[in-house]
Structure formats: C-alpha cells, structure tokens
Amino acid sequence: MARIKRGGHQQSMKFATRAIHAGQEPEPATGAITVPIYQTSTFAQSAPGVHKGYDYSRTDNPTRTALQTALASLESAEYCLAFSSGMGAATTAMLLLKRGDHVVSSRDVYGGTYRLFRAVLESFGLTFSFIETSNIREIERAMTRRTRLVWIESPTNPLLRITDIRLAANVAHRRGALCLVDNTFASPVFQRPLELGVDLVLHSTTKYLNGHSDSVGGFVALNDEADAEWIKFVQNSIGAILSPFDSFLVLRGTKTLAVRMEAHDKNGRVVANFLAEHPGVQKVYYPGLTSHPQHELAKKQQSGFGGMVSFETGSLENAKQVLEGVKLCTLGESLGGVESLISHPATMTHASVPAETRNKLGITDGLVRISVGIEDVEDIIEDLDQALR
Ligand SMILES: Cc1ncc(COP(=O)(O)O)c(C=O)c1O
C-alpha cells in the first residue's frame, strides 16, 4: 500500500490552512487550483502493470486520494481511507476483527452502528458488551481475554455523553485491545482522538465534514501501517469506496469546516441556553452547559461543544408538537449540515434500537434532537419558541 504522506510542511501549518491546502496542490497538467473530479473507472497503462500510480478506481482514484490526504492531515493521521458511507467505514474497520473476538462499545451509539453490531456482526461470531463508557471502571469491568476493540462514540448520538478518550485508550491498550472513536459529532476541529492516544478514528462525512447535506460518505484514519494496509485491502475487496464526485464534494466542504464549526458551536450554545430556560423543556443535553455531567471533561478534551443539542419534552405528544410545529428547522434524519435539522431519535435515527433498550438509555419518546445550523440564531430560536408554545 502506498504510504499516505502527512503533507510535509503543510502539517506544521494551522488547521484551517491545512483544510484548504493539504493534498490539494494545483493540478500539474493544467494548473487547475481545484482538485478535478477524476470521473474514470480505469487508467491507461503503457505496458502490462506499468501505470502512473492508478490502475482501477475501486483500488485508488486521484480525487479520493486528495480527499484522504486532506482528512489524514486534519485528524493528525498517517493514513486515511474514504468510504461510500459512515457505515461502510464502520463495517470495513470491524473486519480488523476475527470470529470469537469481543468488543466493548459505548451503549448509546448511533442506531445504525448498534444495528450493524447486533443484527449483522454477531451472526459472524463477534460478541459485544454495550456499556456506559463515560464510566472508565465500566470499561475495565467489561474487558475480557477476548476483547480486541473498545468502540467509543464521544459525544454520543443522541444523548451527548462524553467519554474520557485518553483514559479509555489506556485501558484498551493495557489489555491488548485497540481503541476506536467515532468522532462524527465533534469533528476534527474540536477533537482529534488520535492525538489523545486512540488507534482509529471514524467519521460519517455525511455530517459536518461535507456539511451541506448533499453527499453520503465516511472515513477511517489511523497511524498503524499494517492495520491501514489491511483496511485498504478489505476496502478494495468489498468495494465500499467513496465515488470521485462525492470525494470532490467532501473536499470542497472540508475547506470551510473550521469556519462552519465555529458558527455551529456559537449557535449551539445559544440554542442550548435558550432551551435550558424554556418552561416547555424538562432537560437539555449539551456538553457546553455547566449542568452536563461531563462538562469539565468536555472542556478539557474538546476545543468546542458543537451544534448538536437534545432535549426532553416529557411525552410523545409534546415532542410531536415541536417536530411538526417548526417552520425553519427541517424535520429529517441526519445532522451537521448548514441548515438546522430536527429529529425524533426514538422513531428515526434510533428506531433500530429495541424500545426497552432505548428507554433504559434515556432515549425516550419525548426526546428531540436538533442539529443547529448556521442560520441567524435569532431565527432558529424564534422558530423553536413558536413550536414549543
Ligand atoms: C455518529 C454517527 N456515526 C456514524 C453514522 C453513519 O454514517 P452514514 O449515515 O454516513 O453511514 C452516523 C449517521 O447518522 C452517525 O450519526
């Protein structure tokens, strides 16, 4: 596998600069400053097996390579592989494991991750313990001789729970396991798990990385060469690659990631504070609020709190009133786009989690999740206020 370079001098530059320049030198043939969409399935060879580094677009494509170089730089990684979706990235990363291996996982992971683990991978001989990873002791207790991976989502979807990533990685490593963080909610602007000692970081680029709700994708970034080679081998074998056009879109979105995240964070804080004071809201889940149980940890491990806010309305009827009453916020799945999206985890993103498990976790019928966009925050608040009334 060709080593993905960190970008030399670019790595010494600041994040926002790397978001625009890493892997994105002007194209040599024409000088185009934007990486072209190499919309080609195959590449001409001058003799059998002699080519310019690309032979077939499932294996490698120049637009995807540019994106992977940029994303590796942003997550402080040596290697990055871009996939057809966040779940494609998750499935391929899980194939680092073998039949009989055990996984310790955060319990309120994204519903699709839970479904992949329980409904698909268990039947291939993997076993899972879903625990409260924000309690490090629980991780220690759940580890067995067979534990090969600790899978952490922090902040979690949808309850915004925070795990101490450095401590979790230490526990995993002491017991000979790998540690992976799904960093989709925080984005590499606010949190870089590899710098905190984990082995793999995973994203759904569908969310903040692309940022414009017009592409589905994902990536895995890591530093270990052998693991990167295996993931690339498996990716090429099963074919869950990001297309050239989607690679272009994500690369374009990534250029503005730093400014977008600042705006999401600013609006997220205002919306969370507004909801916390609202008489129609029973509880707000946002790591930026001092009432959040891991607020201090979030402050230490993240440089911002982001735009994801969940809140408890008390009942399905109340939740419905808000979800159907909003005019500016769009009712829909997904998150991380420039526009505000509102959703009902129990019936939408987490419908694949059994009701009993959902209730145990606190994903109640009255829970509403907002992905706070970057519109003028006064308009977002006015919209929520009228829906809550
Ligand atoms: C935290 C998290 N991880 C992974 C995924 C899966 O990503 P995708 O929908 O791109 O497959 C999602 C999707 O919502 C998510 O919220």
pLDDT of residue 357: 87
Q: Which is the catalytic residue, given 6, 79, 108, 110?
A: 110
114 classed as catalytic: no
Ligand 1 neighbourhood includes 218 CB (under 6 angstroms): yes
pLDDT of residue 349: 86
272-320 pLDDT per residue, tens: 999 999 999 999 999 999 999 999 999 999 999 999 999 999 999 999 9
Atom 14 (ligand 1) nearest CA: 334
The DSSP secondary-structure symbol of 118 reads I
**Mean pLDDT within 325-329:** 98
Atom 16 (ligand 1) nearest CA: 110
Greater model confidence, 108 or 313: 313
Ligand 1 neighbourhood includes 247 CB (under 6 angstroms): no
Atom 6 (ligand 1) nearest CA: 86
Which ligand 1 atom sits closest to the C-alpha of 88?
A: 11
Q: Ligand 1 pocket: which of 161, 183, 207, 333 to mutate (most atoms <8 Å of CB)?
A: 207
Atom 10 (ligand 1) nearest CA: 86
Ligand 1 neighbourhood includes 246 CB (under 6 angstroms): no
pLDDT of residue 12: 85
6 classed as catalytic: no
Ligand 1 neighbourhood includes 156 CB (under 6 angstroms): no
Task: Select from 124, 132, 231 the least CA-distant residue to 178.
Answer: 231
Asked if residues 70 and 251 have their Cβ atoms less than 8 Å apart, the reply is: yes
Ligand 1 neighbourhood includes 366 CB (under 6 angstroms): no
Ligand 1 neighbourhood includes 181 CB (under 6 angstroms): no
110 classed as catalytic: yes
Please list, in sequence order, all residues whose beta carbon lies within 8 angstroms of the beta carbon of residue 336, skipping any fewer than 6 positions away: 184, 187, 206, 207, 208, 209, 210, 211, 213, 264, 307, 371
Cα–chain-centroid distance for residue 278? 30
* Mean pLDDT score across all residues of the chain: 96
**Mean pLDDT within 237-256:** 98
Ligand 1 neighbourhood includes 155 CB (under 6 angstroms): no
Q: Is the pLDDT of residue 5 over 80?
A: no
pLDDT of residue 182: 98
**Mean pLDDT within 241-246:** 98
Q: Is the pLDDT of residue 343 over 80?
A: yes
Ligand 1 neighbourhood includes 184 CB (under 6 angstroms): yes
* Portion of the chain with pLDDT greater than 90, in percent: 93
Distance CA 97, CA 107 (A): 20
pTM: 0.96
Spacing, Cα 199 to ligand 1 middle (Å):
19
Q: Is the pLDDT of residue 1 over 60?
A: no
Distance CA 185, CA 164 (A): 15
Asked if residues 257 and 208 have their Cβ atoms less than 8 Å apart, the reply is: yes
pLDDT of residue 6: 54
Which ligand 1 atom sits closest to the C-alpha of 156?
A: 1
